[in-house]
Structure 1
Amino acid sequence: MAESLLFGVAESFIGKLASVAVQEASLSLSVYKDLQEIKKTVSLVKAVLLDAEQKQWQNNELREWLKQIKRVFYDAEDVIDDFECEALRKHVINTSGSIRRKVKCFFSNSNPLVYRFQMAHQIKHIKERFDKVAADRLKFGLQINDSDNRVVKRRELTHSYVIDSDVIGREHDKQKIIDMLLQDSGDSNSLSVIPVVGIGGLGKTTLAKAVFNDKSLDETFPLKMWVCVSDDFELKNLLVKILNAASVSGSSADPNPIHQESFTNLDLEQLQNRLRNVIAGKKFLLVLDDVWNEDRVKWVELKYLIQVGAEESKVLVTTRSHSIAKMMGTNTSYILEGLSLEDSLSVFVKWAFKEEEEKKYPELVEIGKEIVQKCGGLPLALRTLGSSLFLKFDVEEWKFIRDSEIWNLPQKEDDILPGLKLSYDQLPSYLKQCFACFSLFEKNFDFSNFHVSVLWVALGFLPPPSRGKTLEDMNIQFVYELQSRSFLQNFRDFGGGFCGFKLHDLVHDLSLYVARDEFQLLKFHNENILENVLHLSFLKNDLLGLTPVPTGLRTLIFPKGANNEAFLKTLVSRCKFLRVLQLPDSTYESLPRSIGKLKHLRYLNLGKSKELKSLPDSLCKLQNLYTLKLNGCIKLKKLPNGIGNLISLRQLIITTKQYTLPEKEIAKLTCLEILSVNSCDNLETLLLEGIQLSNLKWLGISSCGNLKSMPLHVIPNLEWLFITNCHKLKFSFHNENQIPKLKLKLLSLESLPQLVSFPEWLKGCADTLNTLVIDGCENLDELPEWLSTMICFNRFVVINCPKLLSLPDCFSNLESLLIVDCPELCRRYQPEVGHDWHKISHIKQVNVFFLRSQTSEG
């Protein structure tokens, strides 16, 4: 199934060939012509990949051809990445190296003559392999499709009929939607549109059917029309479907039904005239089921034609996409949740047994309760697993279903996995690769956007950011897009570009299904590591070293507490193409010197390795490194010598026993966007005045007990600032007039007893600040009035600030206010009853409560 990711791989590879670094390197190595020919050949292959991916399951030879292409692509990508590695290495030598070092490098294994010969040979070999697979494409009769806008196969068209007994556990949802349909919209000129949104398999269509057929709506809506839209949002086809639905509605509800006729032969002008005649002045309910269209122009065009009905006509839409719901809806979307455990068991029993038969098999019902847990409230999953056990009474067979991943079970076209896969098939190719990464983490993993960001960046899944944007901007955009398409649940937006989320268990199963062969999460001792796997994650420490690891690995994620030193040395020496190496919470005291040979490495995570005392200086040879995590390394004596050579570093997260950071080395990290300094108890100053980190956007300082100064004027473009538990840090500066106008979007101040009043320099971010968090600032007794004048300020959190007695009078732009454990504020601003409630009552979302009192009372 990983072959379905190939189109994205091909696009990424072509993009690499076009990069400036590769172009320059190919010219200097005299392989420019060869690379241009490879690019042409790859374009020919890419043009038929989409068709090949769809046809591969009917042709074993075609499927094998796709596997061959995948291997060639990845080998070629390693060679091209080597160009970039060499360019970065030469840059470091030319800018930082002594004459002696330059001479030494010339006579080393990396001297340009030897390197040119080696690369020319590798490029020639790659070219021959691409030529062969490109020639083989001709024997499969594949169609050319060079853009990923294919029509995705949908489920069968729906109808409006439903058996009441099939609708279990949706009485509350049904009544809420009926109430929304009967509610006065308050705008006689606007067609009211109510979207029902949720992941595939939740039962949106079944619920819509139950609402559509409810007799209580018949009097309000004399004309009711059911249209299954699916992937067909062409205006002419929709008009035909709506007219046909109106004719059916009329035949049963209207003494003078619309004359039944074929509308397919009418042109668009005739159709829109006919539709206007049919619905003009009539109060109608139109259900648009299973909408996938994201083109707003098409929707507006249809909406314009149908809003000639009577006032208070309604449109009910079902969709998996929050963005589609937002585009179409005039009412707040109805977010459909999963069924309760009790209702889920009822659905499962209905499909697993004949009526009343479950009473004969109490042991099976107990196993069924465990099976129900894995369905996460999705009716389609409950039906799939229940149906698979119908008329089967063997206990072991039930246990097999209970213990298997859903993606390992046989599936029919209308079962849960194909139902969910529709959403995956609809993803653009770049998001498919990103989604596959979720398979490397266990179920119920609590993600933040940073968890996935570092992987997506390191593996090259994010396209180059457009002008004025960073890779972090691209990351958050992709996360929001996945959330919009209902792939993510428990989504929490913390503001300032931070969010957290989980995956529904069945969505996690989907990630395992689509990523298999290429991504592998190793869980059990009897599992073999797949021969061609590229991305490998170990769930348990005792799995390390049991089976040989492929040398072509790009991702290696160790479990917490890794301590197999021999295994680590072997991997570092053998897996020279690693892009990602995660060693969190390890017990290693150092790393092997051979770490410096992993020149492709982009992400190195040693976070919370509490025994780590030193790092080899060879680590600073990793010029491709984007992210280095050393947080929680409480015994680390110092950063390695030459850290300034990590010229690609974008994220540096450190804990060290050093008294000062190597300022001159840090100054060389001109790409640095994120700097986090945690538990550096010996550190007294953070960055000297002589350096400038103009690209730094995110700064976090936590638990640095002796830190006294923070020179903001050396980080002029800072957007996110977090300061936690730094009791000696000063917030007023002698040279405040030198601080440039700030660009902060988010400011979080936590556990800072020295903070009595807000520093004046914060006025400098009046045009940009949108989120402010103040937590545990026990001596803060006043907020400045100018805080309320900030034009972008829309989210304010105040927690455990007992001396704060009031808020500024007018927060005109604030949209969200949270006050927790602030006695006087909680009393004065309590919703509806507080003395000063009227001052904040205009804010959309206000939460005021005591956590402490709730805990003590509970």
Structure 2
Amino acid sequence: MAELLLFSIAESLIAKLASRTYEETSQVLGVYHRLQEFTQTLSLVKAVLLDAEKKQRENYELREWLKQIKHVFSDAENVLDEFECELLRKQVVQAQGSATIKVAHFFSSSNPLVFHYRMAQQIKKINKRLDKVAADRHKFGLETIDVDRFVVHRRDMTYSYVVDSDVIGRNHDKENIIKLLMQKNLNNNDKSLSIIPIVGIGGLGKTTSAKFVFNDRKIHELFPLRMWVCVSNDFEVKHEIIKIINSDNDSGHQQNLEKVDMEQLQSQLRNKLANKKFLLVLDDVWNEDLVKWVELRNLIQVRAAGSKILVTTRSHLTASMMGTVPSYILEGLSEEDSLSLFVKWAFKEGQEKRHPYLVNIGREIVKKCRGVPWRIGKMPSNLRQCFALFNLYPCGYVFDSFDVTSLWRALDLLPLPNRNQILKHGANPYICELFSRSFLQDFVDYGIGFTFKIHDLVHDIARYLGKNSIMVRYPFVFRPEHRYIQHLSFPENVGIENFPVHKFVGARTILFPTPGVGANSEVFLLKCVSRCNRLRFLDLSDSMYKTLPSYVGKLKHLRYLSLENNKILKRLPDSLCNLLNLQVLIVSGCTELVALPKGLRKLISLQHLEITTKQRVLPEDEIANLSSLQTLRIEFCNNLESLFRGIKLPTLNALCISYCKILKSLPLDIEHFPELETLLVDNCDLLELSKEHNNQNSNLRLKVVNFISLPQLVTLPHWLQGSADTLQYLLISSCNNLVGLPQWLSAMTSLKTLCVTSCPNMLSLHDDIHRLSTIERLEIDGNPESCQHLTIKEPEEENEGIEELE
């Protein structure tokens, strides 16, 4: 399983080497042919990695061979990183450097001649090492295995029969699902086809629950025609039609229809279903292709009154695509039911009474599993490296999608985000993928991101996969194999001053995941910065440092640096601005920070910046030159009176302004913020959002807006009208002087969520609010004392899809 991670690394390396950037740079530096040789050898090794994974468990030499490959891959990633650093350095020197800087660059270690020689030597060494391990693959008799064939979901075909006594703990689910099947369809006089998805992780009991329902006497009476189809992995419409035609329980004859054309098949299918009330179970569906599903659904939909389809799937995306009603989410078994199931499979009938000790062990096992099965199906290889990094966080941790995806992106594990998507969806494609496969739970959408948890058993699987990472506990004993560890997590800081971080020279991640627990040792900081020069992700949040060492600027591979909530940090060295790969810089909550470092404009890779500073005026010209900046958060800047006077932020996608107590104005217009989609403003006591705004503001194309604790907000700013066809999420909370919502709000054609909470002076909603035809969530939560005065005028016609929560 872990070697699939090596396969993913190999794929990533090959993709980089094939890019135009690497091709052009390597030709300029004269190392093109060496990199081509490396790519060819890398492809040979990659081809046999999946077979090696299957065979290495019983072969010690093969396991050692895979370790050698892992080390070569790691060093190769570092070499390729050198290329990227050099490209960025050249861009900065050419775009921003003076003649003096350019001369200094020529005589530095980054001189093209010096760099060319150093790169040529490093690539030569990597090639030599890879050639050696590649040659060794022959002695293991390894075969080439296609990755799709290896990781694709496979399972035996299911059938509909079940012995009721074999089903444990699903009586309540059975009754609930039967109630859903007995309900009348809500639309079209009960003639439309109702589709009910059952969703849960693999092995949880979806198929068993469906069988339990399928064989119930009530279902026999309700549906004269009952059909059970185990759906193919590839979901070919023709194959599913044939299965449905052959699935009639009253006939034992199976027709050979493979050579029959689609015209005849669809006619035969419709004749079979016509004028019959049927139940069709589609078991274990993985298809996420809407076109294929619509094609099949249209052939099945023959207007038989009360007909139903029951779908079992692991994928929330599949369920959302197919279902006509909310999904039935299958939960884990109770502890007692789990123990009963465990005993049933672990012992012959009655034998458990002879082995009470083993039963107690089983009880501890099921407590750990907490109602979910022991095995979780394989996921695609592109998710495995990301999933393994959950190992760096403690059990029960509440994850934030931004933090997780920042880690993944810093380690080059994510594809580039799509700038045409809302921030949360563009930044979190793998989060959505893992959720759709039921690997995540307690999922909460907060507008611009998500929070979620993972089950303890899922955490154990991540720990098994994450063999190149450790969670450091006190007391720590260093062992020789630790020198290859790349990811370090410190859930506590006890004894951190004695931790030998300098021995982890290949470390790429240092993380303090526990809120309020940070690095409290100067010795630890010095060793991190001076010795771990391969770091890509450095989280020093909640730490206690007055400043950082100047040689932090030599961590040229660093993508992520957080100093959040460092309450005594006063200064940052200007050398920090030499981190040209830096994508995320967080200094929010650093309430004693006198000023930001000089030279911010050099951070040409910076995408996300969070600021707290005592400065009266931010270095806005420097910020305006951050050519990759997408997200800017400014908070607890209590000396700021104004922002953004005339500067342009052409790439900014999200702007968050919080707890700036004397901020009075915030001019926003399309000319200066052409890409702005997300605006969050909260706890700014003097800010008047409508002040000094002109008609240009009506052209803003916002998608997500939050206004929280703004005493000056009486009604929505008029410039928000310009987002009439783009705004999707609007939250207004704790705005004590808000008296009402403007009538033009009903013209919002894309608004899906409207929440107004804890606004005690808002006495009414305009009756035009019911014209919001796209609304999915409408929450009006007034102050209890004034709630009785809050009126929502109902229109005469029925309004579907609007939920009012008072």
Q: Shared fold by TM > 0.5? A: yes
CA contact (8 A) 1:448 1:498 kept: yes
In structure 2, the CA distance between the partners of 1:743 and 1:296, relative to structure 1 (3 Å rule), is closer
TM superposition shift of 1:666:
1.4
Equivalences for 1:76-91 in 2 at 5 Å?
76-91=76-91
In structure 2, the CA distance between the partners of 1:623 and 1:155, relative to structure 1 (3 Å rule), is same
SS at structure 1 position matched to 2:580:
coil
1:704 — aligned with what? Answer: 660
CA contact (8 A) 2:698 2:721 kept: no
Say whether residues 1:752 and 2:713 are aligned partners: no
Offset from partner CA, 1:285-328 (integer Å, 9 cap, x none): 33332222334455456556655695434332211011222333
Offset from partner CA, 1:698-723 (integer Å, 9 cap, x none): 11111111222223133232111111
Offset from partner CA, 1:761-783 (integer Å, 9 cap, x none): 22222221111111111111132
1:204 pairs with one of 195, 203, 206: 206
Equivalences for 1:332-481 in 2 at 5 Å?
332-341=326-335, 343-344=337-338, 347=341, 371-378=365-372, 380=373, 416-417=374-375, 420=376, 422=377, 425-427=378-380, 429-465=381-417, 468=420, 473-481=425-433
Alignment partners' CA distance in 1, 2:272 and 2:59? 50
In structure 2, the CA distance between the partners of 1:324 and 1:760, relative to structure 1 (3 Å rule), is closer
1:255 — aligned with what? Answer: none
SS at structure 1 position matched to 2:280:
strand
| Higher mean displacement: 57-66 or 750-759 | 57-66
Unaligned 5+ runs, structure 1: 251-257, 381-415, 850-858
TM superposition shift of 1:825:
7.1
1:604 pairs with one of 536, 561, 567: 561
One-letter code of the match for 1:212? F
In structure 2, the CA distance between the partners of 1:44 and 1:370, relative to structure 1 (3 Å rule), is closer
Equivalences for 1:526-545 in 2 at 5 Å?
530-542=482-494, 544=496, 545=498
1:292 pairs with one of 286, 290, 311: 286
| Higher mean displacement: 369-378 or 712-721 | 369-378
Equivalences for 1:261-272 in 2 at 5 Å?
261=253, 263=255, 267-269=259-261
TM superposition shift of 1:43:
3.3
Alignment partners' CA distance in 1, 2:68 and 2:140? 15
2:724 — aligned with what? Answer: 766
1:686 — aligned with what? Answer: 643
1:554 pairs with one of 489, 508, 521: 508
TM superposition shift of 1:588:
1.8
Say whether residues 1:317 and 2:311 are aligned partners: yes
Equivalences for 1:216-235 in 2 at 5 Å?
216-229=218-231, 231=233, 233-234=235-236
One-letter code of the match for 1:532? Y
In structure 2, the CA distance between the partners of 1:271 and 1:664, relative to structure 1 (3 Å rule), is closer
Alignment partners' CA distance in 2, 1:369 and 1:806? 56
TM superposition shift of 1:265:
8.6
Offset from partner CA, 1:217-247 (integer Å, 9 cap, x none): 222234434343463645676566556653x
2:584 — aligned with what? Answer: 627
TM superposition shift of 1:600:
0.3
CA contact (8 A) 1:48 1:146 kept: no
CA contact (8 A) 1:806 1:825 kept: no
TM superposition shift of 1:345:
5.6
Alignment partners' CA distance in 2, 1:191 and 1:799? 38
| Higher mean displacement: 273-282 or 337-346 | 273-282
Alignment partners' CA distance in 2, 1:771 and 1:798? 11
Alignment partners' CA distance in 1, 2:220 and 2:767? 50
TM-score, with length taken from structure 1: 0.84
Alignment partners' CA distance in 2, 1:149 and 1:297? 24
Alignment partners' CA distance in 2, 1:721 and 1:471? 11
Alignment partners' CA distance in 2, 1:470 and 1:699? 13
In structure 2, the CA distance between the partners of 1:150 and 1:308, relative to structure 1 (3 Å rule), is farther
Alignment partners' CA distance in 2, 1:642 and 1:42? 40
2:542 — aligned with what? Answer: 585
Equivalences for 1:565-576 in 2 at 5 Å?
565-576=522-533
SS at structure 1 position matched to 2:230:
strand
Alignment partners' CA distance in 2, 1:768 and 1:731? 20
2:573 pairs with one of 610, 613, 616: 616
- When the two chains are superposed, the root-mean-square deviation of aligned CA atoms in Å is 3.3
2:99 — aligned with what? Answer: 99
TM-score, with length taken from structure 2: 0.89
2:154 — aligned with what? Answer: 154
One-letter code of the match for 2:219? L
Alignment partners' CA distance in 2, 1:271 and 1:758? 58
TM superposition shift of 1:104:
2.5
| Higher mean displacement: 468-477 or 329-338 | 468-477
2:452 pairs with one of 495, 498, 501: 501
Offset from partner CA, 1:361-380 (integer Å, 9 cap, x none): 999988876654432332x3
TM superposition shift of 1:467:
6.7
CA contact (8 A) 1:777 1:801 kept: yes
In structure 2, the CA distance between the partners of 1:243 and 1:139, relative to structure 1 (3 Å rule), is farther
Alignment partners' CA distance in 2, 1:795 and 1:266? 48
One-letter code of the match for 1:568? L
Equivalences for 1:51-90 in 2 at 5 Å?
51-57=51-57, 59-90=59-90
Identity score, percent = 53
SS at structure 2 position matched to 1:218:
helix
TM superposition shift of 1:555:
1.1
Equivalences for 1:188-199 in 2 at 5 Å?
190-199=192-201
TM superposition shift of 1:632:
0.9
TM superposition shift of 1:798:
0.8
In structure 2, the CA distance between the partners of 1:483 and 1:840, relative to structure 1 (3 Å rule), is farther
Paired residues, number: 790
SS at structure 2 position matched to 1:653:
strand
One-letter code of the match for 2:80? I
Alignment partners' CA distance in 1, 2:85 and 2:422? 21
| Higher mean displacement: 436-445 or 217-226 | 217-226
Offset from partner CA, 1:134-159 (integer Å, 9 cap, x none): 44445555554566464636344444
CA contact (8 A) 1:21 1:87 kept: no
1:4 — aligned with what? Answer: 4
TM superposition shift of 1:268:
4.2
Alignment partners' CA distance in 1, 2:588 and 2:800? 38
CA contact (8 A) 1:685 1:709 kept: yes
1:520 — aligned with what? Answer: 470
Alignment partners' CA distance in 1, 2:436 and 2:50? 25
Say whether residues 1:46 and 2:4 are aligned partners: no
One-letter code of the match for 1:655? T
One-letter code of the match for 1:759? P
Alignment partners' CA distance in 1, 2:256 and 2:53? 34
Alignment partners' CA distance in 1, 2:54 and 2:353? 45
Alignment partners' CA distance in 1, 2:561 and 2:800? 43
